[in-house]
Amino acid sequence: MKDIYMNRELSWLKFNERVLEEAEDEKVPLCERLSFASIYQTNLDEFFMVRVGSLRDQMLVNQDIRDNKTNMTAKEQIDAILEAVQKLNRRRDDAYERMMEQLEKHGIRMVDFRTIGEEESRYLESYFDREIAPLISPTVVGKRQPFPFLKNREIYAVAELGTKAGKRRIGIVPSGGGMFERFIEIPSMEGCFMLAEELILHFIPKIFKGYCIKAKSLIRVTRNADIDADALYDEDLDYREFMADLIKQRKKLSPVRLELSREMDGSVVEILCKFLDLKATQVFRNEAPLDLSFVFTIQDKLRKNSGLFFHKLVPQKSPAFQEGRSMISQIREGDKLLSFPYESIRPFLKLLTEAAEDDSVVSIKMTLYRLARQSKVVEALIEAAENGKEVVVLVELRARFDEENNIAWSRQLEAAGCQVIYGLEGYKVHSKLCLITRKHEGQIEYITQIGTGNYNEKTARLYTDLSLMTANVDIGLNAAAVFQALTKGEVLEKSGCLLVAPKCLQNRVMDLIDEEIERKKAGEEAYIGLKLNSLTDKKLIDKLVEASKAGVKVDMVIRGIACLKPGIPGETENIRIISIVGRFLEHSRIYIFGKGERTKYYISSADFMTRNTVRRVEVAAPVLDENLKERLAAMFSTLLSDNVKARQEEPDGTYTRVVNAKDPVNAQETFYAQAYGAAISRPAASPQGSGT
C-alpha cells in the first residue's frame, strides 16, 4: 500500500499552522489576528501538556510502541514535533513583531528600557518598588535552598548569579500568578505599556543585591497533564473527591517543555534542564512574550476602533419557533434544528425552563460535558428538581481542564435534589443528549434533544454546532435506553435508530460505508460526506480507502487532524479533504451516506477518532425530516464551496488555500447572512418540518 497515512501529531501541528496563518493574514482585522496568535499559543500549550506528555509516558513504559498508521515510535514522533514547532514558533515571532508594529499606528506600543527616557525609567522603578517588590518571593538555589517547584505555564525571571568568591548560583523570581497587574501603563507616554515580567527582569539586580548578574531571562515551563483517571481510581474512594485530588496532582507532573525569552549561556540552560529533567531539544527560545493572553487587554483598549475587529454578528432567532407558544407543542408539530452560532441557543434554554415548570413533565435526563461558568442549563435543571421532577444528570468529571467547573456544578445539582452520575468506568461520556419525558393524556411522550456541541451558552456563540429537537417516538425510546444503561453503569449493547458508541457506532458507520461500496459495484450512484473535527480511527480510515478504491466519491470537511492523505492514485483518488479555519471554531459533526431519495443524514457528538468511536459514550442521531435533510445538504454544499477560509489537503499531506475563479464563498459569513435574512423574513406562524 502506498503512503496514505499521516501521523496524528504532525497532522495536528498542521492544523495549528492553519490557525497561525490567520494571525499572519493581513486580510484579517488586526485585533483578530492578535486573538489567533494567542489561540495558536494556547493550542500548543495544551498539545504539549496532553499529547507530548502522553508520548513521553509511552517512551518510559515501552520504547517499541509504534503509531498504528505511520509506524513511528514515540521518540521519533517527539523529535519530529520539536523540529516542526521550532519552525512554527519562528513564524509566530515574526507575525507578532509585525502586529506590534501595526499597533503603533493605532496608539498602542509595547516598550522596554531601551525605548523610554529617564523620567519613564524613574516612574517604573518607583512602581516596581511600590507595587511589585513587596509581593515577590525570590529564591537563590543552593544546598539549603533546593530548586523551587515551577508552576505549569507560569512565568519566572531567572538569573545566573556570580558571588564575590567566584561561585555561580541560579536566582529565580516568580513573575506572574495574578499577584500584581501584568499590563503596566506608563502615564507620561500615552498608549505605551510594559509587561510586569519584563519590569521584574530589568530590576533583578535590585532583587539579588550582592551578586553579579551574569545572564538573565524569563522562563516558562509546560508540564505533562496526561493522567489516566480510571487507571488510578480506587473504587473505595469518593469519585468526586478523587478527581479533585487528581487535578492537584496534574499540576505537579513532569515538565515537557522549557521556553526562554533571552539567550542564556549553554551551561545555565544545562543546569535548568538538569533540574527539570529536560533535554536541550525541549528548550525553545521565543522572541514573542511567553504568554500572549495580554493581547485581550490590548483589544479592550481598542474596542472603539471597529475597523480592527470582525464586524459584529449576533445569533439570530430561529424561524423554526414562534414567540409566545409552548416549545414542547412546537416540537411535537415537527422536528427542529438549531445551527449555532448563527441561531440563538435560547429556544433550547426555553425548552428546559418550560419542562421544569410543566406539570405533565415527569423527568429530565441529561449528559453534561462542558458547561458555562454561569450556566442557565444548570439553573433550569435545579428548578426542575425543586419542582419535584426526577432529574438525572450525568456530569463527566473527566472533561479535561473543565474538571473543577464540573465538580462545582455537580455539588450544586446534588444539593438541589438531582440524581448525579459521575461517568462510567473505562468510558468518558461525551454525548450531548437530553430526554424530557411527559405523561400527556394518559400516554408517555418523549422530547429528545441531540447535539454536536456542549450545553454551553458561551461556546454556542463561538463554535459552529447543531442541535436537533424531536418528538419522534423511536428516538425517544432509544435515548431512554441510553440513560437506563448509564444509570446502571453500563453501555448500550444494541441500539435502534441512534448510533451509540462504544458498541454501536463504529460498526454501524462501517456498515453504512459498505452499503455505498455495494451500491457503486451495482452501478448506482454512491456518496459519502463527512464533517468532522478529526479523523484518526484506522478502521474507519481503511474502510473509506476501500470505498475510494471502489469508486465511491468521498467529501470530507475536517477542521483538525486528518490521518489520511487524499488524492493518491489507486488509493484515495476519490477522496477530497478540506479544512475551514475562520472566525468561528468548526465543531459540528455531520454524516451523509447515499445519493438522492435514499440519502441518510446524521448529526453527532463523535469524531472519527478511536477515543470517540470505541472509548466514549457518543450519540449520532438520524435527521428524518425532509426539510431538515435539505437544510443539511445545503450547509454541506456551502462548506465544500468555501474558497475564502478553506484549505485543501494535498496528496503529500500539506494544505493549500482553495483558489478558484468562482465567486468568493466564506461559508461562515454565508450562514450568518442566511440567519439574518431568515430572522427578518420569518413568518408569524410556520412550524419547521413536517414531523416524524
Residue 579: in which H helix or E strand, if any? strand 575-580
Residue pair 369/338 in contact by the 8 Å Cβ criterion: no
Longest alpha-carbon distance in the chain: 92
Q: Catalytic amino acids?
A: 430
Residue pair 542/569 in contact by the 8 Å Cβ criterion: no
Q: Which of 57, 68, 91 is nearest to 8 (CA)?
A: 68
Strands (E), 369-462: 390-395, 419-421, 428-429, 433-440, 443-451
First-to-final CA distance of the chain: 45
Q: Is the dihedral of CA 407, 410, 414, 420 positive or negative?
A: negative
Residue pair 255/276 in contact by the 8 Å Cβ criterion: yes
Contacts of 194 (CB under 8 A, 6+ apart): 110, 111, 112, 124, 184, 186
The Cα 90–Cα 108 span in angstroms is: 23
Q: Residue 109 forms beta bridges with which residues?
A: 192
Q: Which of 270, 290, 287 is nearest to 279 (CA)?
A: 270
Residue pair 242/274 in contact by the 8 Å Cβ criterion: no
Q: Which three cell numbers stand for residue 662?
A: 468562482
Contacts of 522 (CB under 8 A, 6+ apart): none
Contacts of 129 (CB under 8 A, 6+ apart): none
